[in-house]
Chains A and B, each alone.
Chain A
Amino acid sequence: GAVVSQHPSRVICKSGTSVKIECRSLDFQATTMFWYRQFPKQSLMLMATSNEGSKATYEQGVEKDKFLINHASLTLSTLTVTSAHPEDSSFYICSALAVKETQYFGPGTRLLVL
């Protein structure tokens, strides 16, 4: 099956700093990538949808200035958490969608903001 990677797998940062998370589709081109957030023992909540070469579409309640998404190529999307605060601590998961295919999920990135 298709493989999606995320980097880093976990990151610890100080409050006020910015953190970048990369999502890569390793063996296919992804026209669309999705970013999810998962709190402990809860389901995945869609944060935004990004299409290659265009601006991301954010879900209601997600601050676009805080969660910057860039989808510069058909194999890479990045999520930058700007000026991170402890409440941003969470598990961030990306998925990639190939044409007429299923969403393939990355392994997730655990963010801890101190």
Chain B
Amino acid sequence: AQSVTQLGSHVSVSEGALVLLRCNYSSSVPPYLFWYVQYPNQGLQLLLKYTSAATLVKGINGFEAEFKKSETSFHLTKPSAHMSDAAEYFCAVSEGGYSTLTFGKGTMLLVSP
């Protein structure tokens, strides 16, 4: 069975500061990993995905994530936070391709001026 753990339900950063959102996963097979962003009262937008190619994945809006098999991690980073980055971020894992996703509980990113 697959599972995802997101450390920290809330992360607060100042505008311009580094963003680091943590995600650890468990999977019995090589996983596909995803980061999604959700703005209030909206659906999920894909930020980036790892599908067994390059371990450093670049996504939209300046976000990137690195797959570390030894640490079973897929942390999301952005060098400089913008106010518009304030949202809820979900890490998700899929076994066997793009089928069933298991989501973490989400991390709310708060950005202060």
- Chain A residues near B (Cβ < 8 Å): 1, 4, 6, 32, 34, 42-44, 46, 49, 91, 93, 95, 97, 100-108, 110
Contact = CB atoms under 8 A, between A and B. Distances in A.
Question: Chain A CB within 10 Å — which of B34, B98, B99 has the most?
Answer: B98
B34 A105 contact: no
A43 B90 contact: yes
A59 to B, nearest CB: 9
A30 B97 CA distance: 15
Contacts of B43: 4, 6, 93, 105-108
A1 B44 CA distance: 13
Interface string B82-105: 000000001000000111111111
B34 to A, nearest CB: 7
Q: How many residues of B sit at the interface, in one of the four size bands?
A: 20 to 34
B45 interface: yes
Contacts of B41: 91, 108, 110
B46 interface: yes
Nearest to B51: A102
Nearest to A59: B100
Contact of A105 (B36, B99, B106): B36
B70 interface: no
B102 to A, nearest CB: 8
A49 to B, nearest CB: 7
29 contacts: A6-B43, A34-B100, A34-B101, A42-B105, A42-B106, A43-B90, A43-B103, A43-B104, A43-B105, A44-B44, A44-B103, A46-B101, A49-B100, A91-B41, A93-B44, A95-B44, A100-B98, A101-B98, A102-B34, A102-B46, A102-B49, A103-B101, A105-B43, A105-B45, A105-B46, A107-B42, A108-B41, A108-B42, A108-B43
Contacts of B42: 107-108
Contacts of A43: 90, 103-106
Interface string B18-56: 000000000000000010100001111110010000000
Nearest to B9: A41
